[in-house]
């Protein structure tokens, strides 16, 4: 089974478009009707959908550290170039499984 990504509102539409052009399934917070939802709700939603969340919001790292279960978090600092983000997410998509990312954080 391939990884599916869910992005919160902090992620540039250029990242989403770049992933979709590569055939990677992505759902945005806006598309899901989750804009302004608390971070914990984003994690719960992504987990319910079996999706790995990609974010540039370090609050998700604190939620992970607190022990909240999730389907996986990929984090990149806000100054990370869009091309580097797309390349990193594409690599994760190609080499990891959803099971490997369960309750795991990957840093770009």
Q: What is the reported pLDDT for 11? A: 95
Gyration radius (Cα) of the chain, Å: 12
Q: In what order do the strands lie in the sheet with 5-7?
A: 26-28, 5-7, 52-55, 73-75, 105-107
Domain that holds residue 83: 5-107
Q: Count CA atoms closer than 13 A to 73's CA, side-chain side.
A: 29
Residue 1 has pLDDT above 90, yes or no: no
C-alpha distances in angstroms, 18 versus 52, 53, 81, 99? 17, 16, 13, 24
Cα torsion angle, 53, 92, 3, 50, sign = negative
**90: CATH:** 3.40.50
Q: Are 26 and 5 in contact (CB under 8 A)?
A: yes
Residue 4 has pLDDT above 90, yes or no: yes
Number of separate domains in the chain: 1
Q: What is the pLDDT of residues 51-100, one digit of tens each?
A: 999 999 999 999 999 999 999 999 999 999 999 999 999 999 999 999 99
Q: Is 28 helix (H, G, I), strand (E, B) or coil?
A: strand
The span from the CA of 68 to the CA of 80, in Å, is 26
């Amino acid at each position: 089974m391939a990884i599916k990504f869910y992005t919160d509102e902090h992620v540039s539409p250029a990242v989403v478009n770049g992933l979709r052009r590569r055939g990677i399934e992505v759902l945005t917070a806006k598309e899901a009707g989750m804009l302004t939802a608390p971070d914990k709700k984003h994690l719960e939603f992504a987990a319910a959908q079996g999706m790995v969340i990609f974010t540039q919001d370090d609050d998700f790292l604190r939620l992970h550290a607190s022990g909240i279960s999730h389907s996986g978090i990929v984090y990149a600092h806000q100054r990370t170039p869009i091309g580097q983000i797309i390349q990193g997410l594409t690599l994760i998509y190609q080499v990891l499984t959803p099971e490997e990312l369960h309750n795991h954080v990957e840093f770009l």
